[in-house]
Chain A
Amino acid sequence: MAALRRTPPLAVVGTYLAILAYVAFALFPLYWLLKIALTPERLIYSDGTALWPSALTLENFRAVLFATDFLAYFRNSVIVSLGTAAATALIAAAAGYAFSRFAFRGKRLVIALMLVTQMFPLLMIIAPIYKIVAALGLLNSLTSLIIVYTAFNIPFATFLMQSFFDGIPKDLEEAAMMDGCTRLQALRKVILPLTLPGLGATLGFVFTAAWSELFFALMLIRSDDTMTFPVGLLSFVSKFSVDWGQMMAAGVLALVPSCLFFAFIQRYLVQGLTSGAVKG
């Protein structure tokens, strides 16, 4: 049997070559980002498209960290992204649970409206949003970004969470309630632990979306001390030149929290936790 099932060596090599080609293709932009960040300023143009820099330096990183406002941008982005991720996950989890478990009047309408909000180009609504935020006196504040990002991410995050709740058999909560739980206890002790992969996915999705958002941040933020990282990145572009080395170094640094965040939540992203709950 084992002999029959053994894959020909050529196929194995082919499979790995294909995977390698795909990984190289996907990671190349990241490599290029790192390469430029490590290339000394004077060699950026002379090295051109050479795959390996002729000299290495950490000067760009030092300049970004100590000679620019990068750390402030970075801190602002962390606050906005974490705030957005937390607020969105909380609201989307509650809404997703309600959509998944309860039948109530107007449910279809609310779902339809949430879908409709996803259909408008951002450009169309930036002006009204700007007016609302200005009227609330929230221009130039990180709070405005958290509110706007949360509002924009909730529909998708809710549908995502709903699909995770749908995947958890209703019998489990009912069993918990028969065991003596209130609905909230059943939710907290039985359903929530099983939804962690979903919650992790939602947090990751929203965090990344907020981390890389440029459009609203550009419109709603003017002052240096409330700029988020994507807006701050633009300060490396001046009227006559682009400081490629520092810009790429900032880009590399900006990847760090995203990577850390995913490293932290990836164990919750592991699926298959609900297997064995019910028949099968």
Chain B
Amino acid sequence: MAEMELRDVRKSYGGTEVLRNIDLRIGDGEFVVLVGPSGCGKSTLLRMIAGLESITGGALLIDGAEMTDVPPRARDIAMVFQSYALYPHMSVARNMGFSMEIRRRPETERRGPVDAAARTLGLGSFLDRLPRALSGGQRQRVAMGRAIVRDPKAFLFDEPLSNLDAALRAEMRLEIARLHQRLGTTMVYVTHDQVEAMTLADRIVVLNGGDIQQVGTPIELYERPANRFVATFIGSPTMNVLEVAPSRDGLRLADGTPLPGPGTARHIGIRPEHIALAKPGEGIAATVEVIERLGSDSNVHCEIPGVGPILARIRGNPDIRPGASVGLVPEKDHLHYFDASGTALPGMAM
């Protein structure tokens, strides 16, 4: 188990800086998810922690020891790759026990941990097979088993579920959560899937364009996003963001609807689940465009004339049709306010 600290870490390729000012402390046994859009630098940051990518500036400490220039093999960290990266010419058992083989442990000694890991991952009957004889999900398990047998100070996961189908992904997500609970080892997990981030993380690090946007627990990020980027990135479906202008007693939308809030706000944010449908004439006037009925909820896509599209998520199965005029009533204490630079402002909700 390990504590990790990134101090003002930077990464650049030639003249291009891809990560800057990364200050992050990961607690012992913590599950931290790095999340962000493609190209935000999350995988690069993970590979820098692993030692597979050099650190241009700053320092990496593991358990207080400087690790910035230490080669991957000496960091005592295991990594699960997006591609699984199983050794194709070795059996499942040898794949899983390879780290012990490298450390010259005799085969009799290797068998125990390999068997134990195989049992927990349900791979017991596949130990003699080659990776090519396994399905995607089984290969993913072998990759995890290999990391477990390594018995490292910390686990790194680089989008480990992105090659699996939706059902298997949900199953493996649960498996990883169980693994973390059982082992209690520090884990750093990279994904672009915010459902994985929300469900697995103790804390989420949101990255964009090489900068950390916000670090916090999933609920903190959901309830108090630090800026417009985090607000629209976290949560599914994403938050509605509407332009507002200051008015005498607060704010108003482009169609003139008055809203409470600080005068410096230029945008307001409201999550689809915090909007209620009302009769026409109440709240913000809008026209229903499309309704997605999901059974438990319905996504009602509306258009506010002169303002733009807005999505409301309504419980159950409301009796409305596309083209209908409705009123939208946002829950006032769930409104988010952003200034011209996109930074969140304390509003009534804060």
| CB <8 Å contact, A179 and B84 | no
Which of B98-106, B116-124, B300-308, B331-339 contacts its partner?
Answer: B98-106
Contact residues of A between 166 and 186, Cβ < 8 Å to B:
169, 171-172, 174-182, 185
| CB <8 Å contact, A277 and B88 | yes
Known: A177-B72, A273-B88; 14 extra A-B contacts, CB below 8 A, are: A175-B87, A178-B50, A178-B52, A178-B73, A178-B78, A179-B73, A179-B78, A182-B71, A185-B102, A193-B89, A277-B88, A277-B132, A278-B84, A279-B139
Number of interface residues of A (CB under 8 A): 24
From known contacts A275-B88, A276-B133, A277-B87, infer whether A176 and B98 are also in contact, taking CB-CB under 8 Å: yes
CA distance A176 to B86 in the complex (A): 9
| CB <8 Å contact, A178 and B130 | no
CA distance A274 to B132 in the complex (A): 8
Kindly state whether residue A247 has any CB partner on chain B within 8 Å. no
| CB <8 Å contact, A172 and B87 | yes
Q: Output the nearest chain B residue to A190 by Cβ-Cβ distance.
A: B87
Binding site for B on A (CB under 8 A): 169, 171-172, 174-182, 185, 189-190, 193-194, 273-279
Number of interface residues of B (CB under 8 A): 32
| CB <8 Å contact, B103 and A276 | no
| CB <8 Å contact, B50 and A276 | no
- How distant is A244 from chain B, measured CB to nearest CB, in Å? 49
CA distance A182 to B163 in the complex (A): 29
| CB <8 Å contact, B83 and A174 | no
Q: Which residue from B52, B73, B78, B83 sits with its C-beta under 8 Å from A181?
A: B73
Binding site for A on B (CB under 8 A): 50-52, 71-73, 77-79, 81-89, 98-99, 102-103, 130-134, 136, 139, 146, 150, 163
| CB <8 Å contact, B102 and A179 | yes
Q: Which residue from B81, B102, B131, B139 sits with its C-beta under 8 Å from A171?
A: B81
Cβ contacts under 8 Å, B51 to chain A: 177
Q: Output the nearest chain A residue to B133 by Cβ-Cβ distance.
A: A276
| CB <8 Å contact, B103 and A180 | yes
Nearest 3 A/B pairs, CB to CB: A276-B132, A278-B83, A171-B85
From known contacts A193-B89, A277-B131, A279-B163, infer whether A179 and B83 are also in contact, taking CB-CB under 8 Å: no
Cβ contacts under 8 Å, A176 to chain B: 87, 98, 102
Cβ contacts under 8 Å, A194 to chain B: 88-89
A169, A178, A193, A275: residue with the most chain B Cβ atoms closer than 10 Å: A178
| CB <8 Å contact, B131 and A276 | yes
| CB <8 Å contact, A275 and B132 | yes
| CB <8 Å contact, B79 and A175 | yes
| CB <8 Å contact, B73 and A177 | yes
| CB <8 Å contact, A174 and B103 | no
| CB <8 Å contact, A179 and B150 | yes
Q: Output the nearest chain B residue to A181 by Cβ-Cβ distance.
A: B102
Q: Output the nearest chain B residue to A276 by Cβ-Cβ distance.
A: B132
